[in-house]
Amino acid sequence: MEIFGPLWLSVQLALVTTFVLFLIGTPVAWWLARTAASWKPAAQAIVAMPIVLPPTVMGFYLLILLGPYGAIGSWWFELTGSTLTFSFTGLVIASCIYSLPFAVQPMQNAFESLPRQMLEFAWTQGASKRDAFFSVAVPMSARGFVAAAVLSFAHTLGEFGVVLMVGGNIPGETRVVSIAIYDHVESLQYGAAHQMSLLLLAFAFTVLLGMYMVNRRWSLR
Amino acid sequence: MSGVSSIRQQLIPVQHRASLGSFMLDVDVGIPAQGVTGVFGESGSGKTTLLRCIAGLETGSGTDSRPPHERGVGYVFQEPQLFPHMSVEGNIEYGRRRAGADRLDKDHVVEMLGIGNLLSRKPAGLSGGEAQRVAIAAVLLRSPELILMDEPLASLDQRRKDELLPYLDRLHDELSVPIVYVSHSIDEVCRLCDHLILIEDGRVVADGELHAMLARLDIPMLTGRNAGTVINATPDRHDSDYDLTLFRFSGGELLVPGKYDSTIPNMRLRIAASDVSICRTRPQKTTILNVLPAEIDEIQPTGSSTDLVRLAIGDDLLVAQVTRRSVTNLDLRKGDHVFAQVKSVTVRR
Amino acid sequence: MPVRKLLLVAALLPGSLLADDVVRVAVASNFIQTAAKLTKHFSETTAVSVRISSGSTGKLYAQIINGAPFDVFLAADTERPRLLEQDGYAVPGTRATYATGSLVLWSRDERLRGRNCREVLQRGDYNRLAIANPETAPYGDAAMQFLVAEGLWQGVSSHVVYGENIVQTLNYAATGNATLAIVAASLMSYPGLPSTVCMWRVPQSSHAALNQQLVLLERAADDEAANSFVEYLRSDRAAAIIERDGYTVVR
C-alpha cells in the first residue's frame, strides 16, 4: 500500500495553502489591525468563523458553492470545463477558507503590537507606506508570520471533514493522508493505518517542536 | 548666500485646519526658513498636532495632500522610534538611502552627534539620550528641508537632558536646515530657539523673533513664572578668586558665577522677571552684584498684586516683576530713570 | 467538580437506557430510510421503542468490537456479520440476509435529457462519475465489479470520484458535482432527491450479490425485545416494506 503518496499530497496541499494564505491573509490582517471601521467586528467574525463552524457545514456549502450550479463553480466550469470539486485546486480553495483564521489572527496580533509611531517615523524618513510595510512592519512581525505559517500548514495537514466532503478521494489528486488513514481504518487495514498515522504523528511533532524552539530562541534573545 | 537678513525674512507658510474629535486646530503662520523656531504652549494646546499636520501624519488637513514620505520633513519624536531589527548604522542609513541626495556628510553628522562608537549596536541596548541622538542623526541624514522636533528631551531625566543639550546647540549653530522645536519648557526655548510661536487651544496667539517676543508684556502666556528676557552677552574675563565671569553686553557688564570661555561671543543669558528688582536710587551696601542703570519702558499690570515693568538697558530689555504697591509707593512711571538689581542670571548658551 | 459529576451521570446512564423495552440498532447508512419505516411499524405493533444509529458498515463494525452498546446490527454486507459471528461478538445462528440490494446509474444533469445513461457512460462524454469507495463500501465494490466486467473501467477510471459511503456518492451527483453516479437502487425513493433526468438499472448479474446481513449481538442474546425485533425483520410484513424500497428479499 502506497504510504508516502497521500502524505506527500497533504504536504503539497499544506504548502500551497500556506503560500496562498500569506498572499491573502497579510492584507486582511493588516487592514484588520489598523482599521477603525465600524464593521471591523463583523469582518473579524467572518474571518474567525471557520474556527467555530464544524467542517461539515463548510464542506456542505463548499460542495454547493464550488459545484457546477454554485456561484464559483459555475464560473469555473465555464472557464475550464471541469468542476472545482474533486480537484486539487478545489481543495486549495477549501483549505484556504478553512485555515484563514489561523493565518490572519497571528499576523493581526503582530501588526497590532507594532508601535504606530514607528511606522510614522519610517514614513517621515522617506519610506512610502508600502516601503515601510515591507522594511519595518514585516521584519518586526516575523514571529507572527512564522506562527501564521506553522498554524496554517499544520491545520491544513490535519484537515479532514471538508476534504472528505468535497475531495472525492481521488488518488494523487485529492486523496490526502487523513482520508487515506480513514479509509484504511474503514477497510480494516489497521497496519497501513498505523504506518501513516505514526508518520503523521512524527511529522506534526517535529513541525511543532521546531516552531516552539524557534519561538523560545526569540523570546530569550 | 546673499545676505542673512533676506533669508531670515523668507517664511515657510504653514496653514492647517483640522478637527480631531473635540479638538480644533486652526493655524496660519509662517515659519522662518532659517534657524530654530520654538512652538511653545501648555500640554494639550495643539503643539504636537501642529507638527503632525506639517509632517502629513494627520490626514485631511491643510492644502498639502502629499503623503509624509514626499514632504521632505524630518520628525524627531519624543520617544525615539528606532527600528529594533536594525543596527544603529542601519537606522541612520534607512532615511539616507531613501533621500536620494546627501546634503550632509554622514561622517560629520555621526561625529556631531557623538554616535561613532554606537554604530554596530542594536537600539535595544542604548540609553534614552543615545537613542535620541541616533534618531536625530537618522533624521538629519534623510536630508529634510525642515526638521520637526517634538519635545525630544521630555522623556529624559535631567542628567540625560544635560548630556543631549550640547548636541542640540551644535545643530543650531552648524545647520542651515530650519527646525521647528516643540516644547513646554521656557528654558529650552530660550536656549535653543531664534523664533517663537505661541500656541493655545489650537490657535497661534503670537509669533516673532525670540528676544522681542520675550520682552512683550501683553501676552499672558509669557507672564508669571515664564516672564523674563534673554540678552546676548560676551564673556570678557574670569575672576578666579571668586569664580565669577564678567560679561559685556549693550547695556554694560554682568557678573556671572562660573567660568566661561571668552572666545565664544554672544552667549545667551536668561534673566527671569522674578530675579529683577527696581530701586529709585543706586543701592549702597547690597548683596546683589549686578546693579544697572535703566529707563522704564513700559508698565503692565498682570495680576491683582503684581505688575511687570520693562526696562531698557542699552539696546537690551529686561523685565522686572514687582508688586503694584511698590510701583505706587515709588511712583514709577514710563520714562523714569531707575536702577535694576539683577539677583540671578542663567547662562543658557 | 463538574467533570466528576459528568462521569457519575455517564456511569448511571446505560442502566436506564438499556431497559428491556429499548432496542438499539446499528444500521448501515444505505438502509437507514427503510430501517426507519420498519422500526416505526414495529414500535406501533409492539410498544417496544427502537433507537437507530447509522454509519458505514465498517465504522459500525469498529464501534461494535470496541464495545458500543448495540443490540442488533444491520450491515450492508455479509463480511462484517460473518466476522462478528466468528469472533464471538454476535449470537451464533442469528446471521441472516434481510435484503439484497441492486445498483442504478443515475443523473440529474439536464444536458443528459433524452439520452441513455448507459450510453453516456460508454461514450465517456461526461464530467465525473461518482461511485462509493470500493475498499470501504460494498456498493462501491459492486459498482467496480460491474465496470470491470463490462470493460468500462479503463475508460471511466479517470472520471471516477469516490464517495465515502453510498449516500455521499449520491450527494455528489445530487449537487451536480458529478454528472453520473452508481448508487443503491433503494436510494431512489429518498425524499428530497432532485428529479431524475436519466436512470439505468445495473443488471444484478454483473456483480456479486449485494446481500445485506443482520446479526443479533452478544450483549442482547437474552434480550426479549431485541430478539423479537430480529424475528420481526424476517417476517413477511417487514419483507414487504423492504421490497417496496427497492430491495429484493429472499423469503
CA-CA distance, C211 to C196, in Å (whole number)? 26
Are domains C2-100+209-244 and C103-201 of this chain identical in fold? yes
Q: Which positions in chain B have a beta carbon within 8 angstroms of at least one beta carbon in chain A?
A: 55-57, 67-69, 71, 73-75, 77, 79, 81, 83-85, 94-95, 98-99, 135, 138-139, 142
Element (H, E) at A60: helix A55-66
pLDDT digits 0-9 by tens, B236-281 = 989 999 999 999 999 889 999 988 887 777 888 999 999 999 999 9
Cβ of C161 and A67 within 8 Å? no
Q: Which candidate, C59, C94, C79, C105, places its Cα nearest to that of C200?
A: C105
Q: What is the pLDDT of residue A21?
A: 97
pLDDT digits 0-9 by tens, C177-194 = 999 999 999 888 888 889
Instruction: Spell out the residues 6+ positions from residue A7 whose beta carbon is closer than 8 angstroms to its own.
Output: A177, A196, A199, A200, A203
Q: What is the pLDDT of residue B8?
A: 46
pLDDT at B29 over 70: yes
Q: What is the pLDDT of residue A92?
A: 95
pLDDT band at residue C5, thresholds of 50, 70 and 90? low
Q: What is the pLDDT of residue C47?
A: 81
Architecture of the domain defined by C103-201: 3-Layer(aba) Sandwich (3.40)
Q: What is the pLDDT of residue B62?
A: 64
ipTM confidence: 0.86
pLDDT digits 0-9 by tens, B59-76 = 766 667 789 999 989 999
Distance from CA of A213 to the nearest CA of C (A): 34
pLDDT at C13 over 70: no
pLDDT digits 0-9 by tens, A44-82 = 999 999 999 998 899 889 988 988 888 888 888 888 877
Q: Which of C65, C112, C164, C166 has the most A C-beta neighbours within 10 Å, making it the best mutation to test the interface with A?
A: C164
CB contact at 8 A, B63 and B109 = no
Share of chain A above pLDDT 90, in %: 52
Of A124, A140, A142, the CB nearest to B74: A124
pLDDT at B100 over 80: no
Section A5-25 average pLDDT: 94
Residue in chain A lying closest to C62 (CA) = A186
The number of C-beta contacts closer than 8 angstroms across A and C is 64
Instruction: Spell out the residues 6+ positions from residue B85 whose beta carbon is closer than 8 angstroms to its own.
Output: A139, A140, A142
Q: What is the pLDDT of residue A85?
A: 87
A103-107, B247-251, C134-138, C223-227: which is most confident: A103-107
Cβ of A68 and C176 within 8 Å? yes
pLDDT at C6 over 60: no
Show the domains of chain B with their CATH numbers.
4-214 (3.40.50.300), 228-347 (2.40.50.100)
pLDDT at C65 over 80: yes
Residue corresponding to grid cell 456479486: C208
User: What residues of A are in contact with residue B55 (Cβ under 8 Å)?
Assistant: 120, 124
CB atoms within 10 A of CB B264: 10
Strand B179-183 and strand B23-32: pairing?
unpaired
pLDDT digits 0-9 by tens, B297-317 = 999 988 788 999 999 999 999
Q: What is the pLDDT of residue B324?
A: 93
First to last CA, chain A: 47
- Number of folded domains in chain A? 1
**Neighbouring-strand partners of residue B247:** B235, B254
Share of chain A above pLDDT 70, in %: 98
Section A188-205 average pLDDT: 88
Q: Delimit the domains of chain C by residue range.
A: 2-100+209-244, 103-201
pLDDT digits 0-9 by tens, C75-122 = 999 999 999 999 999 999 999 999 999 999 999 999 999 899 999 999
Section C145-153 average pLDDT: 94
DSSP state of C10: H
- Identify the domain containing residue A120 by its residue range: 4-220
Cβ of A165 and C168 within 8 Å? yes
Q: Which fold has domain C2-100+209-244?
A: D-Maltodextrin-Binding Protein; domain 2 (3.40.190)
pLDDT at B337 over 60: yes
State CA A14 to chain mean position distance: 7
User: What residues of A are in contact with residue C171 (Cβ under 8 Å)?
Assistant: 63
pLDDT digits 0-9 by tens, A102-135 = 999 999 999 999 999 999 999 999 999 999 999 9
